[in-house]
C-alpha cells in the first residue's frame, strides 16, 4: 500500500474571529483552480510538520510573524495526511495581499463567508470544526 503524502496547513485567526483564506490561481493545470484555500503545502523529504509549516509560510507570506502557533489537529484525507496549526494574528488584509507570493489574493472570512464560497482541498469540514471549537474557546 502506498504511503500517503504529508502536508501542513495554517489557520490564521484575527481578533474579529475570521480565518485567513487564499484564492488559488485560476490555472487549469493545478488542483482546485480559482477556489478558496488555507495557506500551507506538502512536506519535503526529511522535514517534520513544524519545519514544513514555517517553510511554507515563508514561501507564501514572507515576513509574516507566525506568533505562538500550535497544533490544531491532524486530519487524514483520502490522498494525504494534513497537520493543521493555528495562530492569532492582527494583520490588515491589504498588508497580507502586499506580501502574498502564491495565489490571487488573501481575504479574512467568517464562517458565514466560508459557507458561501468554493473551498479547496476538503477544508470545508475542517473549518466548520475549527469554528465550532472556537465557540467553545480555543486554548491560547
The CA R_g of the chain, rounded to the nearest whole Å, is 14
Q: What is the mean pLDDT of residues 47-68?
A: 96
Task: Give the rounded percent of residues in the chain with a pLDDT score beyond 70.
Answer: 97
Closest CA to 31 of 62, 59, 7: 7
Looking at residue 121, its pLDDT comes to: 86
Residues 25 and 120 sit within 8 Å (Cβ to Cβ): no
Which three cell numbers mark 55? 517553510
| Cell numbers placing 133 | 471549537
For the segment 96-108, the average pLDDT, to the nearest whole number, is: 97
pLDDT digits (tens, 9 = 90+) for 76-99: 999 999 999 999 999 999 999 999
At residue 140, the pLDDT reads 61
Candidate from 1-5, 16-20, 48-52, 100-104 with smallest mean pLDDT: 1-5
Which pLDDT does position 1 carry in this prediction?
59
pLDDT range class, residue 4, cuts 50, 70, 90 = very high
pLDDT, one tens digit per residue, over 118-129 is: 999 899 999 999
Residue 138 has what pLDDT?
A: 73
Burial class (CB in 10 A: 0-12, 13-18, 19+), 43: buried
What residue ranges do the domains of the chain occupy? 5-136
Is the predicted pLDDT of residue 117 greater than 70, yes or no?
A: yes
Domain 5-136, CATH: 3.90.79.10
Task: Say yes or no to pLDDT of 130 above 70.
Answer: yes
pLDDT surpasses 70 at 139: no
Amino acid at each position: 500500500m502506498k504511503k500517503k503524502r504529508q502536508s501542513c496547513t495554517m489557520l490564521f485567526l484575527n481578533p474579529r474571529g475570521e480565518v485567513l483564506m487564499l484564492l488559488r490561481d485560476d490555472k487549469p493545470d493545478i488542483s482546485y483552480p480559482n477556489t478558496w484555500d488555507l495557506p500551507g503545502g506538502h512536506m519535503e523529504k526529511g522535514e517534520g510538520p513544524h519545519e514544513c509549516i514555517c517553510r511554507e509560510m515563508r514561501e507564501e507570506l514572507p515576513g509574516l510573524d507566525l506568533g505562538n502557533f500550535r497544533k490544531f489537529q491532524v486530519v487524514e484525507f483520502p490522498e494525504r495526511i494534513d497537520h493543521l496549526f493555528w495562530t492569532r494574528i492582527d494583520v490588515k488584509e491589504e498588508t497580507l495581499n502586499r506580501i502574498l507570493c502564491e495565489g490571487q489574493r488573501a481575504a479574512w472570512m467568517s464562517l458565514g463567508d466560508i459557507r458561501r464560497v468554493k473551498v479547496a482541498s476538503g477544508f470545508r469540514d475542517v473549518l466548520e470544526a475549527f469554528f465550532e471549537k472556537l465557540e467553545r474557546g480555543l486554548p491560547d
